[in-house]
Amino acid sequence: MYRIGNAHDIHRLVEGRKLILAGIEVPFEKGALGHSDADVVMHALAESILGALALGDLGKHFPDSDPQYKNIASSLLLEHVVNLMEKEKFHVVNTDISIHLEKPKLAPFIEAMRQSLATLLKVNIKQVSIKAGTNEGMGPVGLGDAVEATATTLLRKA
């Protein structure tokens, strides 16, 4: 049995926060604002897995009203989702992720991001695709006010 999930996440960019994408700190004068470390890549990936399993969204599992999740590393959230996936006896076949950010350029960080996610998902790096693009100056991403990510993940029953 195969299951597919798709998810999108967007966070405002602000000064005074680190920009964490797929668990990698990207040097930049702004970072994503959120209750956790606001890693849009891990959030979209985790929600795509939860969606494939029909287990709700991150807010259901990690409500932002709960202070224990304040500034939590999104890698811990993804690890929890991977554990739920394994309990359901599924594994990741592949995931395809798009990041939209006007700047900085992400090309130098893509391979490290892919490896970071492959390690957390317990898969080969060839099963993790990450693409980065801009919004050509349009909308909140294009104006440099936000970062967004979309993930589509295919799961297979073990």
* Contact in structure between 145 and 151 (CB atoms under 8 Å): no
Burial zone of 158 (CB within 10 Å; 0-12 exposed, 13-18 middle, 19+ buried)? exposed
Q: At 65, is the pLDDT very low, low, confident or very high (cuts 50, 70, 90)?
A: confident
| Residue-range definition of the domain harbouring residue 112 | 2-157
Interval 66-78: pLDDT, tens? 777 787 899 999 9
> Domain with 13 in it: what CATH number?
3.30.1330.50
Which residue, among 64, 67, 75, 14, has the nearest Cα to 39 in the 3D structure?
75
3-state secondary structure 20-35: EECCEEECCCEEECCC
* pLDDT above 80 (res 55): yes
Overall domain count for the chain = 1
Interval 78-134: pLDDT, tens? 999 999 999 999 999 999 999 999 999 999 999 999 999 999 999 999 999 999 999
Q: What is the pTM of this model?
A: 0.95
